[in-house]
Amino acid sequence: MTTEAFDVPTLTGQLRAALRHGVRAASLAAHSSDLIDLLTAGNPGTRDERAIVAEQIIRTATEPLGPDIGPAMRIMLGLEPGTWHTRIETRRNRAATLLGIEPGTFRRRSHEAAYLRDIAWEIWQTRRNPA
């Protein structure tokens, strides 16, 4: 179980670390146990069960990004069908194409990093102020 702080910078860093393998439940369970622990602290269940919950938390956090950025980030995170077992570079190319920008431009702070931070912010805000 992780002892990391539940804050936006920590969440952003964990999401960035998970990009390589994606954030589908199976990928989280295999490669991102700290992110699972961070997102599901206090939830009962096996690591695989909590990975399913973690995936849904991340998927839900992409929705407020809107009709263009949301799908692009779901591609980046390996959540869209056809992206599950693709390399990060391929996913980045597809996401950039969807947004009408170059992959190198997408990778800059003003895009990819900012969108990851937005997802982390949404997760943090939702956990901080549960409905």
In-domain check, residue 17: yes
What's the rounded mean pLDDT across residues 103-127?
Answer: 92
Which range of residues forms the domain containing residue 43?
Answer: 8-126
In-domain check, residue 43: yes
At residue 131, does pLDDT exceed 90?
A: no
Q: Classify each residue of 27-40 as buried b or exposed e, where b means 16 or more C-beta atoms within 10 Å of its C-beta.
A: bbbebbebbbbbbb
In-domain check, residue 83: yes
Split into its structural domains, the chain has a count of 1
Banded pLDDT at 130 (limits 50, 70, 90)? low
Distance (Å, whole) CA 60 – CA 83 = 18
In-domain check, residue 116: yes
Distance (Å, whole) CA 7 – CA 37 = 14
Say what the pTM is.
0.92
In-domain check, residue 1: no
Q: CA 13 → CA 45, 74, 93, 97, 102, distances in Å? A: 25, 17, 22, 25, 24
In-domain check, residue 131: no
Encoded amino acid at 114, one letter: A
What are the tokens at 66? 């809107």
